[in-house]
Structure 1
Amino acid sequence: MNAAAPTQGAFSRGGALALVAVGVLLFTALAFLIGAGADFGGEGGQGQAHAASNGLNGYAGLVRLTEAQGYTVTRSRSPAELETDGLLVLTPPPGADAEELAKVLNERRYSGPTLVIVPKWRAGKPSDDLPLQVRAKFKRGWVVLDGVQASRWPRDLPAPYTFSLLVDGTQKGAPPAGWSGLGHTGQLPAAPVLYAKPAKGDGQRQLIVDASNRRLAFEVSLGADGTADEDAYPVTFLVDPDLANNYGLADPARASAAIALIDELTYGGDIYEVVFDLTLNGFGASENLLTLAFRPPFLAATLALMVALLIIGWRAFQRFGPPATATGPDIAFGKRQLIANGAGLILRARRYALLGAPYAALSARRLAERLGLARPDPEAIDAALARRLPDEEPFSRRAARLEAATNPTDILAAARALDDLNAKLS
């Protein structure tokens, strides 16, 4: 039988390493996207007024402007981050649940300041009636403003947050209204004004007003029970969002007023974290094992596991010895191979003491055959050897020495002594 030729692997060492590296990178990217819950593709909530929107009514510009002022900004999709001790910016939609919003505001009174930006515009995708060259200029997320709407949920809020929304200046051709507050003045980008009508004895401090002294932004200065509470953080409502949305931030004066409002709520920068909530706009995501694995205190265990995987991968590409070559059949035949396998097993197990008695019994059978004895009895062998080889040491004494040996040197010496008797009788 001819020896089988060694086979060539399907991939080289470098190719296998490249496949593993690409697989790890793809899995890592997939895990990150699943854990981050980012919005890839689609319309991205087009038409809604939230911190991830770059439409006219969105607040992506306010997020970037706040970051540029040195604040640590987060766009949160997790309900757990509503409990942040930084500034929380809420952008509830027109159909928000007043009871749910009030619960968030009450639970945060002793955690950190809160800014609630009231929605104003109805917005949607560009109409198909627009000229093609106009629609071609629209970027992803851009919207068309289609009138003002006053939400109903402010009047359903419990005291001391209750107020009513009113709209003024909707007539065609009306000039933009002026505003002032927080050391800044200017004009709104469009004529309709959304302002708040407070309840009696509301304890609400106005921050920004229009030219008719109507509230465009105010701060709630009373506690939930209607009494003053110096330990509570402020809750501020920005009633006309054109002072802070992408539409309004095109004007430097309105941008300065928006940052002044952020600075007012963070006590001049003493609070450095600002969280823009997205859960009220339907972008909430529950915690999962992937997000927890990359946050303290679980991050340390994740990093340790990654290092262990890298070490295992590196060792997998290291050779533990010379490559094995095919020099014969996979399974060898014959007594020689059987003996070699048995000897190798004994050497691995280091059970040398098991060799003495079987070899002594084998030598006894051989000597009995040569001496013409019916049975390999040690006493009969000694008597026969005394007649044939009177000067030799008895068999029983040599066999006992072999059976008592425990290390390879003594076993080999005793076995040779038995082999000498066989050789002399041949």
Structure 2
Amino acid sequence: MSDLTIGRRQEDGGAFRLRTVILLLAVGIIGFVALMLGNAYEAPSDSTNGASAHALSNGATGYSGIVRLARAMGKDTRIIRDPSQLGANGLLVLTPPLGSTPLGDVLLRRDDLPTLVVLPKWSTVRLLPAGRPGWVMRLGLIDKKEPEGVLAPDRKFTVSRLTSGGRPLRSAGWMSEDFGFEAPRPLQTISGADLKPLLTDEQGNIVLGEVGGKSLYVLADPDLLSNMGMRKESQARAALALLDALNQDGDRDFDFDVTVAGLGKAKNPLRLAFDPPFLAMTLAIVAAMLLAGWQAFARFGPAVHRERAIAFGKTALVDNAAALIRKAGRQTRLGGRYVEAIRERAIVAFGVPSRLRGPAIDAYLDKISGRSRFTDLAQAVDDADDKASLVAAARALHDWQKEKGK
């Protein structure tokens, strides 16, 4: 059978003009490319929702206030969403919401880089008052096991909650007393081995300590940096001075991590297609698609129609049948059929009596004078086991017929 139609329908004008089709395609392609670029370069949303305390939260226990203050003071304070950026120089502030939050990989990458771990303190729930996105309600103090488990089991601390009365905190000489903190109410402190006090209350209880002398700092009470503590100008000034002092370089910027709060976002793989060096490949593919589209609308030269898979006529039918027999490898099995065809033609041509049957017909044909006998030639055709010998034997039998017919 053929995969082409026998006749050819007359072309009509179509439902749309060429200009309309081009316009529809252009709008669709531009919209698709815009969607791809938007997904590739989508800016991370600074969501303020949720009750977790992190650098994007506007709640009382969040840290968006100190971030905005640092940026207003000219510091390039970043919100770290990509885990690959956690090894950058400068102070990194970690705010794990629970004691079970894994920090091992982050601290291993930071090693001797300045890192501040802020322990959790409050248990909160999310509120949705009109016009107050990100607000939370404090349910009370979180269980002590949560802040005690933040650096466990490598480092074990004991957490205490004390009545502070809002009295000033004391520094260990590394920070000017002009920027002193007022103790939160209640005050959360820590104690433990290998912990150097940097900020304490009047009784010497540690509020901020350095662990192991490796620029790893632990802030026991998060209210010193949270939005709750930013309500007073003196507290906000002291918080910014604290971060500068821990950074070991006042001109160096600092970062706040939100990956431990579950707000991390890895690099978009789609963006690779639009950034060097893969941009060149993307442009080459776009150019090839445009050329293919142009060729579809503007054909180069006349259209070349395929020939029929099976041609018309008896000759073509015989040729196709022969091709099928060749592919099947059955040529040698046609010898007997050819002998029968020659025998039938010889019976008519030489007037073999109709009373003769079977071997008698062959014996009669052998008596016809000539150089070759019919039975010998027929046997040679039957005995042929390859194409060459079959063709030679069949040609000899055909020549015998022509010779006897003269």
TM-score, normalisation: structure 1? 0.56
Query: Over alpha carbons, which structure has the higher Rg?
Result: 2
Residue in 2 that maps onto 1:218? 209
**Structure 1 residue 302 and structure 2 residue 278: aligned?**
yes
**Structure 1 residue 244 and structure 2 residue 225: aligned?**
yes
- What is the CA–CA distance in structure 2 between the aligned matches of 1:145 and 1:242, rounded to whole Å? 13
Contact 1:51 1:63 in 2 (8 A): yes
| 2:110 counterpart (108, 111, 115) | 108
Residue in 2 that maps onto 1:192? 186
Describe how 1:14-413 pairs up with structure 2 within 5 A.
Answer: 14-33=23-42, 38=44, 44=49, 46-97=50-101, 100-101=102-103, 104-110=106-112, 112-126=113-127, 136-137=129-130, 139-149=132-142, 151-152=144-145, 155=148, 157=151, 161-169=155-163, 175-181=165-171, 182-183=175-176, 184-188=179-183, 191-199=185-193, 202-206=194-198, 208-220=199-211, 222-223=212-213, 232=214, 234-269=215-250, 271-272=252-253, 274-284=254-264, 289-290=269-270, 293=272, 299-309=275-285, 311-312=287-288
Cα shift at 1:113: 0.9
Deviations 1:155-206 (A, max 9, x none): 454699543221123xxxx854433543312435x5211122344xx35131
Contact 1:150 1:167 in 2 (8 A): no
Distance 1:105 1:27, change over 3 A: closer
Cα shift at 1:257: 1.7
Contact 1:165 1:194 in 2 (8 A): yes
Distance 1:308 1:271, change over 3 A: farther
Consecutive unaligned residues in structure 1, runs of 5 or more: 127-134, 224-231, 332-426
Distance 1:61 1:125, change over 3 A: same
Aligned-residue CA RMSD (Å): 4.1
TM-score, normalisation: structure 2? 0.59
Cα shift at 1:254: 1.7
SS at match of 2:17: coil
Contact 1:119 1:151 in 2 (8 A): no
Aligned residue identity for 2:256: F
Count of aligned residue pairs for this structure pair: 292
- What is the CA–CA distance in structure 1 between the aligned matches of 2:70 and 2:292, rounded to whole Å? 49
Percent identity of paired positions between Structure 1 and Structure 2? 29
Deviations 1:51-97 (A, max 9, x none): 22221111122223333344443333344333333322111123335
Distance 1:109 1:323, change over 3 A: closer
Cα shift at 1:50: 1.3
